[in-house]
Chain A
Amino acid sequence: MAIDCFVLGAGQEIGKSCVVVTINGKRIMFDCGMHMGCDDHNRYPDFSLLSKSGDFDNVISCIIVTHFHMDHVGALPYFTEVCGYNGPIYMSYPTKALSPLMLEDYRRVMVDRRGEEELFTTTHITNCMKKVIAIDLKQTIQVDEDLQIRAYYAGHVLGAVMVYAKVGDAAIVYTGDYNMTTDRHLGAAKIDRLQLDLLISESTYATTIRGSKYPREREFLQAVHKCVAGGGKALIPSFALGRAQELCMLLDDYWERMNIKVPIYFSSGLTIQANMYYKMLISWTSQNVKEKHNTHNPFDFKNVKDFDRSLIHAPGPCVLFATPGMLCAGFSLEVFKHWAPSPLNLVALPGYSVAGTVGHKLMAGKPTTVDLYNGTKVDVRCKIHQVAFSPHTDAKGIMDLTKFLSPKNVVLVHGEKPSMMILKDKITSELDIPCFVPANGETVSVASTTFVKANASDMFLKSCSNPNLKFSNSTQLRVTDQRTSDGVLVIEKSKKAKIVYQDEVSELLHEKNHVVSLAYCCPVKAKGESDNDVDLIKQLSAKILKTVSGAQIHESEDCLQVGSFKGSLCLKEKCMHRPEISSCSEAVFLCCNWSVADLELGWEIINVMKLNLDNTCKVKGDLL
């Protein structure tokens, strides 16, 4: 059995995350995102690679979307409404609540401002979201008889999850985007120690290692403070959800502490609405926020107001959160056009900007002019601040998670190729786990776990519940517990395998037990001596104890027993088991019998007795 990991998007790049994994015949699509930097057909994953006929329902068992960012959910309405996928779609509660806002916001930006043809309509979004099944953290969902999925907390943004999927004995985890440290409002990713065949991890910051983020938070606050103190306007282009709330919490808190009265605006009612969702979904935030929310909901921002278009040219300082992020289009770009030429102003860019956007150009160098999409140029004299803390995990976080989960294989997606290659080498060499970095359209196949299943008999399980310690004393004392070796695995064609205790095998085969034993009637003493037999047995057992380590000897009047070895005084004139020629013909004999299990033990005891006899014979001979 194998697991195939087919990367439709976000292979060696960031954007349009979409990984299709086939586990034992079940096919799961993780994320269904769009590329924000592309305008052509490349913005969507190439779904035609999944099915030539366009029948996706029979090809894909389910879709799981990890969080509401456009590069993870952007292509979903297109896939369900235009391509016609009708199967189950799973999202966490916050993702289900917030994705439509993100999609609608993006759609409006694309259509209203950039004047593009509609990729999907509002109806598409509504219909698509109706098909979504909301799931809770750690809730184990049985998608169908074989496929089981479970979501774990991933940090990153509100409602972001890592997904565990299991088919039969094979299991994988797809991390989506995650954050291994707590931030202002979200907790760190949290997952159980699972047995995994494959871990598919994001690797946005595959080589970065970050220290504490407090100095960088301070840097950001000081940059904004300096700007507004100088009478400038600060523009923070961000998507409606996620960063906006985190930064706003920071600013709101800072405003309170520093008693600043400069207004903070949100560019549309949308984000205010989003704040309401944040208030409702408080159970998905960090422990700290959860504990405080009874007294004061941290998403009740005291200094935040709605922004009006007329305020763009209003005098005086302000801080504005405007959508969309990355300055890729829409209102934030419009405001940027007006504010960029003034050296008093500030543009703070939070997070990652995809190549091709204005945000990316600003971050790449220090341009004095920037080309907008329609050919107009804008002079950039304002200050540019890059917010240096990110809701993505750093390289150490990826390594920590990989080490913690210790999967059999790792696939890296959602990153930049050069740094992914470095991380790949690190995982291979430091953790000794095979690691793959597939490009878009490539498939990685790894072996999957399977267990041989057998029914075990009660007798076997009972024997296994008692220790069966064996001591061996070859060079040094070794203690081994071989309780399972009393069990026998029986496989009959076209039947389920069975495990039975060794004594039960013959019954299972409808055969009769056949006992194979060894026997030897051993001379132990020359006849005619006055000692009685009890002393003889005692004497022998003392000798045996001396030579055979760990032997447990049971003795009675005329016999002794060690394990399956039984010896009893033989009074018969002629014993079948007595060798015909014996050195001391007139002797006392011990008739011995032992099973094949104690083959060696038996011979050892016989040896002891023979030596004993030789010695006494010798002594007697000397005396004579």
Chain B
Amino acid sequence: MELTCLSKGDGFHYPPCHMLNLCGFRILIDCPLDLSAIKIFSPVPYDVGFEASEYPSSDVSLDAQDPVQKKQKLERQLTPADLVCAEPWYKTVKALHLWEASLIDVVLISNPMGLLGLPFLTQNPGFCAKIYMTEATAKIGQFMMEDLVSMHKEFRCFYGPGDSSYPGWIKDLDSEEVPALLKKVVFGESGDDLGSWMRLYSLDDIESCMKKVQVVKFAEEVCYNGTLIIKALSSGLDIGACNWLINGPNGSLSYLSNSILVSLHARNFDINGLKGTDVMVYSDFSCLQSAEVTENGCISPNTDNNYLSTISDNKDEDLAASLLNTEDSLEEMEKLAFVCSCAAESADAGGSTLITITRVGIVLQLLELMSDYIESSSLKVPIFVISSVAEELLAYTKTIPEWLCDQRQEELILGEPSFDHLKFNKDKKIHLFPAIHSPNLITSWQEPCIVFAPHCSLRLGPSVQLLQRWRGDPKSLLVLEDGISSGLALLPFRPVAMKVLQCSFLSGIRLQKLPTLLSVLQPKIVLVPDAVSQRIDLSGMKINSILSFSENETLHVPRIADNTSVEITTDLASKLSWRKLRQRENFGIARLKGGLLMEDGKHRLVTGLEQEESSGKARPLRYWGTVAQEPLLGALLKMGIKGSIEHSTSENGLENSIIHIANPSSGLIETSEMCTAIVAEDKNVASQILQGIDEVLDGI
């Protein structure tokens, strides 16, 4: 097995991308888009007739900003004029372009964000891989791609049909004056990222891509090529997001994508399904984003050791229980509640709130909390959701009990809506509009209000226009997702007077939980990113080996099982001709028959066609042991062959015996410890001697 990490990704919106080589099959896991890169483009300018006021901006931040970003800001102040004024291109995984698309056998997509780059791959005429993803991932992912295309349309309208072959804007970026930050985004650290920029796909491309997809349910077993049994198991990250379990003839492999152990909305992380695999690929890079690491640098080994000792004392169930404690989810809940209260505060003060979060799960929960909040308070502010797919997406979330967490499932089954806001939707407290220029929007528009509008990059979609409208209003609030590097994101809107709330939500397993998780899952070999193995000491774990992998390097993983299992059908087993061995009563040996097939990921030996031919006169082809001369003489005598023994020593010093045969025709048997040669002119005599040898020597 081989693992190549093509990209370690960047947070929730840009999941990692890996290539696996398993049983000779190439498996691509996830095909994301680096949407944060489009921030180098300038948004479509809107003349909203609202002068930006001179209030100083007050950033409210939940978590510390990325220190790297801060440093870069110091180097050289970017101005809005530095941004590229052109129809944006999109940045895909660079290393993926180095692989021949036609040689990929399987594509596994673990969450909707991992799907966004797939149409680029399926456009390739040689592409013929089988694509698997969960039904919900396909549905939500398709919504997101369609939304992306529809938001991008504004740029097309603005800049007109451009040259599709080569983007002119790249030429302009290659000069000295261009700020280093922009150059880094465009050309990459090593300067060779240029090839990863692609022009956006069309709706037709999305459609033809989705036609190639085979959707699966959670825990549905699909068999690829009779060899690999692939199973999607809930990861808890979002609706439909999954981890993968792949069983093949050479053992089992589990792939852990970014997971959330206790989810507030999606189906919980499926622990049981992932237990005891031979190889586990831990691809959760979320620790790179999380604050605790950047603050402390590394988790101190002391606390870590304590942790490990408690692990070994605990029982399996307790461990699993400790993993599933609700601490994290409560924290998430508090964050959501905080966002709500901030929004309510600004509404109280007469300001509007713009929420640009695009994580489906977070949006659903925020909508729910907001509408509950508004319902219970005296506040009367409308909620607008402006997105080309808002209506379909919300309608879809009404019909998916299978993909939700237990509590919401229960509610659905009891006949209540899975998300509280769905009933408000009916009461017209939440207004859904496909676009900001929708005809009914202006009639129901009312400020202050709370608006959910994509896109989180602040370059696409209705959020751009609304931000331009409210940026000068200090009473208004902008809710951003963290990891968006607010500096660059807000650049074209500066000066920003409105409050900015930047929040980060859990998008993976916390590093401290990894040791516990590993001791519950007990894989034989674990592959972890070098970023993880540098930050946490896993050497105390009871795991055969822990290997670390890094971006753009291929890691070869040795096979675990020495022997591969083969299943033999009973009717074939009963047809085998068994031989008993001399002096070994416990053994039975038989030469095989039939055909070896690969079925359901297992080698199977089944009845073949050539039975009748080989059945009768099967004779041994391999012998072992030594020939005892006296019994051989006796056996030959029974067949009427007389011989006499003569001992000799051959030139290389080995003991040699020769049995001379005189009757019925001449011949001799030359025998030593290792070999026996039958010399006879007559074929029949030779066969008879062979028969005699069969009687005194074990063979098959």
Which A residues contact B (CB, under 8 angstroms)? 93, 96-97, 134, 136-142, 150, 169, 273, 276-277, 279-283, 293-294, 449-458, 461, 464, 472, 480-493, 498-499, 502-503, 505-506, 509, 511-521, 576-577, 579-581, 593, 595-597, 599, 603
Contacts and interface: CB of A to CB of B under 8 A. Distances in A.
27 contacts: A97-B415, A138-B216, A140-B220, A150-B221, A169-B567, A283-B400, A293-B395, A294-B392, A449-B569, A451-B569, A453-B565, A454-B568, A455-B564, A456-B563, A456-B565, A458-B564, A484-B593, A503-B622, A505-B624, A506-B624, A509-B581, A512-B673, A518-B677, A519-B670, A576-B668, A595-B621, A597-B621
Contact of B690 (A138, A485, A490, A596): A596
B398 A280 contact: yes
Interface stretch (B188-196, B492-500, B533-541, B602-610): B602-610
A565 B231 CA distance: 52
B446 interface: no
B670 A576 contact: yes
Nearest to A494: B586
Contact of A514 (B413, B563, B584, B624): B624
Interface residues of B, number: 82
B675 A483 contact: no
A623 B529 CA distance: 87
Contacts of A464: 596
A502 B698 CA distance: 13
Nearest to A285: B399
A481 B613 CA distance: 12
Given A138-B220, A580-B666, A455 B677 contact: no
A449 B570 contact: yes
- Nearest 9 interchain pairs by C-beta: A455-B563, A506-B624, A451-B567, A511-B624, A515-B675, A138-B220, A487-B592, A493-B586, A452-B568
Nearest to A495: B586
Interface in B553-591: 563-570, 573, 576, 581, 584, 586-591
Contacts of A485: 591-593, 614
A457 B593 CA distance: 16
B605 A484 contact: yes
Interface stretch (B104-112, B114-122, B363-371, B680-688): B680-688
B621 A502 contact: yes
Nearest to A138: B220
A424 to B, nearest CB: 26
Given A137-B217, A489-B576, A516 B681 contact: no
B487 interface: no
A449 B594 CA distance: 18
B622 A502 contact: yes
B592 A509 contact: no
Given A280-B399, A503-B622, A509-B587, A480 B670 contact: no
B563 A457 contact: yes
Nearest to A577: B679
B678 interface: yes
Contact of B678 (A277, A518, A521, A597): A518
Nearest to A461: B564
A139 B398 CA distance: 21
B678 A516 contact: yes
Nearest to B574: A452
A580 B591 CA distance: 39
Contacts of B625: 511-512, 514
Contact of B218 (A136, A484, A499): A136
Nearest to B392: A294
Residue with the greatest number of chain B CB neighbours at <10 A, chosen from A134, A512, A596: A596
A46 B670 CA distance: 78
B409 A498 contact: no
A280 B412 contact: yes
DSSP class of B's interface residues: helix, strand, loop or mixed? Answer: mixed
Contact of B681 (A141, A273, A455, A579): A579
Given A140-B221, A449-B570, A482-B610, A514 B697 contact: yes
Nearest to B588: A491
Contact of B604 (A280, A451, A511, A513): A451
Nearest to A281: B399
Contact of A134 (B400, B409, B687): B409
Nearest to A130: B410
Contacts of B272: 142
Interface string B648-692: 000000000010000000101010011111111101001100100
A509 B584 contact: yes
B413 A93 contact: yes
A452 to B, nearest CB: 4
B693 interface: yes
A355 to B, nearest CB: 34
Contacts of A489: 568, 576, 589-592
Interface string B326-359: 0000000000000000000000000000000000
Contacts of A142: 272
Given A140-B221, A498-B563, A509-B581, A488 B413 contact: no
B219 interface: yes
B700 A515 contact: no
A514 B676 contact: yes
Contact of B683 (A490, A579, A603): A603
Contact of B596 (A279, A484, A517): A484
B301 interface: no
A576 B679 contact: yes
Contacts of B401: 93, 97, 134, 280-281
B624 A454 contact: no
A477 to B, nearest CB: 14
B595 to A, nearest CB: 6
Contacts of A599: 619, 687, 690
A598 to B, nearest CB: 10
Nearest to A592: B679
B591 A514 contact: no
Contacts of A483: 596
B312 interface: no
Contacts of A517: 675-678
Given A93-B413, A596-B621, A491 B565 contact: no
B402 interface: yes
B620 interface: yes
B568 A451 contact: yes
B445 interface: no
A280 B399 CA distance: 5
A513 B626 CA distance: 9
